[in-house]
Structure 1
C-alpha cells in the first residue's frame, strides 16, 4: 500500500464523486477537504489526494489499490462503470502476473488507469463461499 498519492484533475467534483463511488467497496471516506482539494482514505494511514487542476490536463497515472477479497474487485469494477468509468479489463485472474493476481481495471474521468487487485489464494475464496 502507499502512504499517499497526489494528482490533479480537470473536473474536481466529477472526479471526487467517481473515486468515492468506485472505491466504496474498500470503505473509502473523506479525511479532509479544502481549497486545494480532497484527501480520501480507507484507514487514515494512506491517502489519495485529488487536487483541483482545471487549467491543463494532467498526465495519466496508473493507481492500484489493494483489495482484501475478490468480491471487492468485482464490486469496484461494477460501481466504477456505473460512475462513468471506461472498462480497461474486467475482474479476473491475471496468470501472466501470478496465479493469485485477481484484478479489474478502469479508466477514470481524467484518463487515469485505476486498478483494484486482490492477492488472495484460490483456496481462501473457496473456503469463504463454503
Structure 2
C-alpha cells in the first residue's frame, strides 16, 4: 500500500546518527543521501522493499510531529523489539507509554515498544507472534 514514509527533522545529522543505529537493528544499512532541488538534505533508508525518509523541511519551516501519528516498524522477535527500543533510548530517543512487552487486545497478542525520536516523532517496534508477515 505504501511507497514510502517521510518525516521532517530539525537536525538532519542528529537524525542520521539516531536512525543509523535504530534501523540497523532491523537490518537496514546506510541511507542514500539526496539533495532536493531546493538544496535541502534528505536521507532514504531502504530495506525489504520499504523506504523510510527523513528530510529537512523544504518549506523552511520547523519540522513538527503529527499529533496522533505513529510509525510502526515490524520486528521478527520480541528480542528485536527490545533491541530497537534500547538502541533508540541509547541514541537520544525517549521511551514512552508502557515498558516494552506483550500486550493483549483486539488484534491479538502483540509484543510492543514505543519511543520518540530526538525530533519527537512517535515510533513503535512491533512483533506479532502469531503471524510474522
Counterpart selection for 1:71 from 79, 103, 121 = 79
Matched, 1:37 2:42: yes
More helix by proportion, 1 or 2? 1
More strand by proportion, 1 or 2? 2
Check conservation: 1:102, 1:119, Cα contact below 8 A. Answer: yes
Give the match for residue 23 of structure 2. Answer: 23
Deviations 1:21-44 (A, max 9, x none): 12221111234212131100222x
Q: How many residues align?
A: 121
RMSD of aligned Cα (Å): 2.0
Matched, 1:96 2:102: no
Matched, 1:14 2:14: yes
Unaligned residue ranges in structure 1 (runs of 5+) = 125-130
Counterpart selection for 1:46 from 45, 50, 55 = 50
TM-score, structure 1 length as denominator? Answer: 0.82
Give distance in 1, aligned partners of 2:94 and 2:119. Answer: 11
TM-score, structure 2 length as denominator? Answer: 0.80
> Which runs of 4 or more aligned residues in structure 1 lie more than 4 Å from their structure 2 counterparts after TM superposition?
none
